Structure 1
Amino acid sequence: MCLGIPAQVLECGEYYARCRSRNGELLVDLSLVGQQAIGTWLMTFLDAAREVISAERAVAINAALAALDAAQSGATDFTAFFADLDREPQLPDFLRTEPS
């Protein structure tokens, strides 16, 4: 299985960027996204950037990955990783039916 890992650009060259991720620093191939500004968040797979993502999305993905780590360690309470787990799920507007 291949998981995407968010990584933030620390230094950028034409083809590669030095980035920081939850697993430390890595050299990321920029072939698919081009040069990026320092501070940009990238979704990386196998040390290659596949997509530019927002900081908010990077935080959410890192929380989900931390939850996976916790699950592998035997945790059963995941509310610390997902702020919206303690609320009732809501249907999106387009799926709600109008009362007759």
Structure 2
Amino acid sequence: MCLGLPMTIIETDGMSALCEYANKQRRVSVMLLSEPPVGANVLVHIDTAVRLLDDDEARLIADALEGLNAALDDHDCDRFFADLIGQEPQLPEHLR
């Protein structure tokens, strides 16, 4: 399984960007995107930014990753999945 990280662009030269997530920085390729600006949130897979994220989506992904870490450490993880608590699972529209 491959997980994408929501990272924020700190600096870019058009071909690569220095990005940050969870107080860690790494240089990633941005060649699949059309000149993302400094401050943009991007979804990074295997050191490649694959798409732009809006602030809400970046936060939800970061919360989910923190929740997984909490669950793996046997800590309460409900607060990370507040948008799912008390809801019945729903199939995506194309599977209904």
Sort the TM-score into its range (normalised by shorter chain).
0.7 to 0.9
Q: How far is 1:90 from its partner?
A: 8.4
Matching residue of 1:66: 66
What letter corresponds to residue 24 of structure 1 in structure 2? K
The alpha carbon displacement at 1:70 in A equals 1.0
5+ residue gaps, structure 1: 95-100
Task: Report runs of 4+ in structure 1 exceeding 4 Å deviation.
Answer: none
Larger Rg: 1
Distance 1:67-1:90 versus aligned 2 partners, 3 A rule: closer
The aligned residue for residue 47 of structure 1 is 47
Q: TM-score, normalised by structure 2?
A: 0.83
Distance in 2, Cα, partners of 1:11 & 1:70 = 31
| Percent identity of paired positions between Structure 1 and Structure 2 | 30
Question: How big is each residue's C-alpha offset from its partner over 1:32-62, in whole Å with a ceiling of 9 and x where there is no partner?
Answer: 1132111100000011001111011000000
Question: How many pairs are equivalent?
Answer: 92
1:54-93 correspondence to structure 2 within 5 Å: 54-75=54-75, 77-89=76-88
**TM-score normalized by structure 1?**
0.80
Would the aligned equivalents of 2:68 and 2:77 in 1 still touch at CA under 8 Å?
A: no
CA distance in 2, matches of 1:58, 1:88: 21
Distance in structure 1 (CA, Å) of the matches to 2:23 and 2:4 = 12
Unaligned segments of structure 2, at least 5 residues: none
